[in-house]
Amino acid sequence: MITEEVGERDKCLDIFRPEPATLLRCRQMTRLEKWFQFRLDSGRALGHMPGQFVEVALAGIGEAPISVCSSPTRGDTFELVVRKVGNLTSALHELEPGEKVGIRGPFGSHFPVETEAVKGRNILFICGGIGLVPVRSAIQYVLDNRGDYGRIMILFGAKTPADRLFVEEMAEWQGTEDVTLLETVDRRDAHWTGVEGVITTLIPCIRFDAQETVAIVCGPPIMYRFVILELLERKLLPENIYVSLERRMRCGVGKCGHCQVNGIYVCQDGPVFSFAQVKDVEEAL
């Protein structure tokens, strides 16, 4: 075996080699979720679009696919929210500012916020739990290009009040003109005065012109069925409903086979799909 001299050309060639990024800031958000802000050591911006993901590596532990939660409109840093569920994510939670991770990507498809399919229309964001993480990138993008879109409606559901993410930022969104934000929790606590119930309870509370509205939906697998049914009943077209699928995206480059959904590779063809693209794909939803 021979080891390659590290050269710029070879860095591009090896689809498995991560590039270094430094942790700038981090903050615990909930018991399990932590927010991180990184910058690539090369100084270049990540170059992602809302909804894309990166493979985050810690040498000796491994790699995991993580959605980018910040918008490319917000400078040359990028942000991730990581739920502590396994070896890699637990180790990520231990990182201190100044420490480094390896990054590959960005990978996959994105919420098409920059296209004519979305521009000029109302956008209905529906997020369950950490489904808000990739969608936040799209919300920031849309708010930063506010003139390009119609009304903005955000529905967010968390298991309990303690599981809510981006609480301060949501308050900001709520205070923005032309933005409607509604929240619910599956189970209230002693302090919660808001809505209680699953996310679909919020959908009847909003009005929109189905012809002029695009929905961006992200949440746990079970949520999609119920939310999409509601949206179809409200006459939203399948091609105007976008979903982001979670799968085991091991390699990120369409080779390893783990993220395959029938004939589709989620890491390449997704993770963002229109409902029209996946409604007849049996394993998708």
Minimum CB–partner distance for residue 225 and other proteins (Å)? 14
CB-wise, 109 or 240, nearer to other proteins? 109
Q: How far is the CB of 100 from other proteins (least distance, A)?
A: 5
State the nearest-atom distance from the C-beta of 226 to other proteins, in Å.
17
Distance of CA 194 to the CA centre of its chain: 25
Distance CA 48, CA 214 (A): 21
Q: Residue 14 or 169: which CB sits closer to other proteins?
A: 14
Nearer Cβ to other proteins (15/205): 15
Q: What's the closest the beta carbon of residue 177 comes to other proteins, in angstroms?
A: 38
Kindly state the smallest distance separating residue 44's Cβ from other proteins, in Å: 16
Q: Which C-beta is closer to other proteins: that of 85 or that of 229?
A: 85
| Closest CB 2 distance from other proteins, rounded Å | 6
Cα 245 to Cα 269: distance, rounded to the nearest angstrom: 11
List residues near other proteins by CB under 8 A: 1-4, 6, 10, 13-21, 41, 57-64, 83, 85-86, 89, 99-102, 221, 246-248, 250-251, 253-258, 260-263, 268, 282-283
Other beta carbons within 10 angstroms of residue 52's beta carbon come to 23
By C-beta, is 16 or 144 nearer to other proteins? 16
Q: Are 250 and 256 in contact (CB under 8 A)?
A: yes
Task: Give the Cα-Cα-Cα angle 278, 128, 65 (nearest 5 degrees).
Answer: 65
User: What is the C-alpha separation between 55 and 68, in angstroms, rounded?
Assistant: 10
How many Cα atoms within 13 Å fall on the side-chain side of residue 222?
4
Q: Which residue has the tokens 């491994």?
A: 62
* C-beta of residue 3 within 8 angstroms of C-beta of residue 24: no
- Of 25 and 235, CB closest to other proteins: 25
Specify the 3-state DSSP secondary structure of 62.
strand
